C-alpha cells in the first residue's frame, strides 16, 4: 500500500478514468478528496471506495468556473492539513468539427475546463506543497498533444498547453521537491467516445476509428490508473516534467524510470531540428 497516509485531490472523479483512478488509489491506501460536477456520480464513486478508504470525501465543483474551484479548495483545506498529491483529471472534449463551424463559447469552455481549471487548482495547491517541501501534481493530457487532431482543435490546444504547463512548472518548483508530470491515458472507452460517435461526420476520420473501438474495446482504464498511482507514490520520486503514455511507454521498468530521471529531453515536447534529438555532423 504505497499511498498509505497520502492525501490526494482528484478531479473528474465521478466516472470513467477518474473513477478507475479513485479505485486504484483507494486500494493503495490513499485518502481522496473527490471533485466533479455530479453529486450522484461522486456519491457512487465514494460508495465504491469507502470501505478501504474511509477518510475519503467529495466536493461538488465545476472546473470551468474559477470561484467554484477556489471554494472547493478552501473546503478541502479545512479538512486536510497536508495535501500530498493533486491529480487534474477532469476534462471535456467538444466542440467537435471544423474550427470555423465551432461555437466559440464552446471552444472557450473547453479551455476553461481542460486548461484553466487545472491552472487555478494548481495555483492554490502549490504554496502548501512548497511549505511542505514535497508534493506530486499529475495532469491529464491526451489526443492532440503530440500531433494534430483535426476536428478537435479546442481539445488538442488545451491538452498541448497542459503539457507545456507541466514542463514549465516542473522546472520552476524542482527545488521544492515537487514532481509535476502529465499522463496520456490512451484510447479509453469513456463518455467521450460516445460523443465522437454521436457527432457523426463532424468527427472526420476519427468516426470510423471510434466505431471500431466501441466494439473492440479500448485501453483498459486500469492502465492509466496504475500509472497515475505510481506517479503519486514515492516510487516515482525524481521523475518530473514528463509526458508519459500509460499504454505505450515502459514506465513499469526501472530502466525507463531511471532514464526519465536522467535525460531532461526524454518524455517531453520538443521540436526535432538537430538541436535536441539529432547529433550535428
Catalogue the E-assigned strands of 51-208.
57-60, 85-88, 135-140, 178-184
Q: How far is Cα 236 from Cα 243, in angstroms, rounded to an integer? A: 14
- Residue 196 C-alpha cell reads as 465522437
Helix, strand, coil shares, percent, the chain, to 5: 50, 15, 40
Q: At what angle do helices 191-198 and 206-216 cross, to 10 degrees?
A: 130
**CB contact at 8 A, 189 and 218:** yes
Residue 6 grid coordinates: 497520502
Active site residue 155: yes
Contact 267, 243 (CB under 8 A): yes
Which of 155, 173, 256, 276 is catalytic? The answer is 155
- Beta strand spans in the chain (E): 7-11, 31-36, 57-60, 85-88, 135-140, 178-184, 243-245
The residues assigned a catalytic role are 155
Amino acid at each position: 500500500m504505497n499511498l498509505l497516509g497520502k492525501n490526494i485531490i482528484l478531479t473528474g472523479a465521478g466516472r470513467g478514468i477518474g473513477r478507475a483512478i479513485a479505485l486504484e488509489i483507494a486500494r493503495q491506501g490513499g485518502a481522496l478528496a473527490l471533485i466533479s460536477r455530479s453529486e450522484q456520480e461522486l456519491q457512487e464513486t465514494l460508495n465504491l471506495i469507502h470501505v478501504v478508504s474511509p477518510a475519503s470525501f467529495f466536493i461538488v465543483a465545476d472546473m470551468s468556473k474559477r470561484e467554484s474551484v477556489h471554494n472547493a479548495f478552501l473546503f478541502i483545506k479545512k479538512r486536510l492539513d497536508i495535501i500530498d498529491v493533486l491529480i487534474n483529471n477532469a476534462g471535456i472534449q467538444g466542440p467537435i468539427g471544423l474550427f470555423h463551424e465551432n461555437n466559440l463559447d464552446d471552444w472557450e469552455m473547453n479551455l476553461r475546463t481542460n486548461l484553466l481549471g487545472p491552472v487555478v487548482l494548481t495555483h492554490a495547491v502549490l504554496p502548501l506543497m512548497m511549505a511542505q517541501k514535497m508534493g506530486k501534481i499529475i495532469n491529464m493530457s491526451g489526443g492532440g498533444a503530440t500531433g494534430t487532431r483535426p476536428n478537435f482543435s479546442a481539445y488538442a490546444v488545451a491538452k498541448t498547453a497542459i503539457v507545456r504547463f507541466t514542463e514549465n512548472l516542473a522546472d520552476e518548483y524542482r527545488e521544492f521537491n515537487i514532481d509535476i508530470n502529465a499522463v496520456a491515458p490512451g484510447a479509453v472507452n469513456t463518455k467521450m467516445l460516445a460523443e465522437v460517435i454521436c457527432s457523426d461526420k463532424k468527427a472526420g476520420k476519427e468516426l470510423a476509428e471510434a466505431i471500431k473501438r466501441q466494439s473492440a474495446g479500448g485501453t483498459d482504464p486500469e492502465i492509466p490508473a496504475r500509472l497515475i498511482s505510481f506517479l503519486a507514490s514515492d516510487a516515482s520520486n525524481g521523475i518530473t516534467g514528463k509526458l508519459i503514455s500509460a499504454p505505450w511507454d515502459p514506465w513499469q521498468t526501472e530502466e525507463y524510470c531511471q532514464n526519465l530521471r536522467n535525460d531532461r529531453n526524454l518524455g517531453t515536447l520538443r521540436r526535432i531540428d538537430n538541436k535536441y534529438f539529432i547529433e550535428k555532423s
